[in-house]
Chain A
């Protein structure tokens, strides 16, 4: 399942999730449910900043899950194996369920990438000139 399909499944399964974006550690957005690319990038950057700020609170361990709950809604960020997913929800969501759905989405994308055949390495044939040399 590719990233876009995994996100489509996520928003279909979880009625509490309003929007979500899948992105890499470098901030590059792989897929999102947002209408515009700029909006997806801005959201991913904000989520990334949130993760960095949380990482600064402890030096011995890195955060891999965050929930920021406000009266207007919650923001969730989950990191696994260099991939990140961030989502917004309605106020007072079922926290455990949202984390579970986000982690399942990340796992589906990781499984898809793992199942894709890796491009074969091309071996260059020795040219006659090289053989002669």
Chain B
């Protein structure tokens, strides 16, 4: 009985950890910076690059200013 409860607890813990990992991953994927230039070119800054982190921080500042 105790062994079954332990196994069940372990399974629930694993499922919760997996769900949290997947949710965090999808939230991360949603973060991006797309720049369109007047010569018709477009740049999508790679996730985690210093440029994208800087522009994401400025974007968050703008969101905060709008929602304050």
Chain A residues near B (Cβ < 8 Å)? 18-19, 34, 39, 42-43, 45-47, 49-50, 53-54, 57-58, 60-75, 86, 88, 91-92, 95
Chain B residues near A (Cβ < 8 Å)? 27, 30-39, 41, 43, 51, 54-56, 58-63, 65-68
Give, as a whole number of angstroms, the nearest-CB distance from B26 to chain A: 9
A95–B59 Cα distance when bound, in Å, is: 16
| Minimum-distance CB pairs A-B, first 5 | A68-B59, A65-B36, A46-B62, A61-B37, A42-B65
A71–B54 Cα distance when bound, in Å, is: 16
Q: Which residues of A contact B27 (CB under 8 A)?
A: 71
| A-B Cβ contacts below 8 A, count | 98
Q: Which residues of B contact A75 (CB under 8 A)?
A: 59, 62-63, 66
Contact A67 B33 (CB under 8 A): yes
Contact B30 A43 (CB under 8 A): no
A68–B67 Cα distance when bound, in Å, is: 16
Judged by DSSP, the binding face of A is: mixed
Contact B34 A67 (CB under 8 A): yes
Contact B30 A91 (CB under 8 A): yes
Contact B38 A57 (CB under 8 A): no
A19–B68 Cα distance when bound, in Å, is: 12
Contact A69 B31, CB 8 Å, known A42-B65, A46-B62, A49-B58: yes
List 26 A-B pairs, Cβ < 8 Å: A18-B66, A18-B67, A46-B61, A50-B55, A57-B35, A57-B51, A61-B41, A62-B37, A62-B38, A63-B36, A64-B37, A65-B35, A66-B33, A66-B55, A68-B55, A68-B56, A68-B58, A69-B32, A69-B33, A70-B30, A70-B60, A70-B63, A71-B27, A72-B63, A73-B63, A91-B30
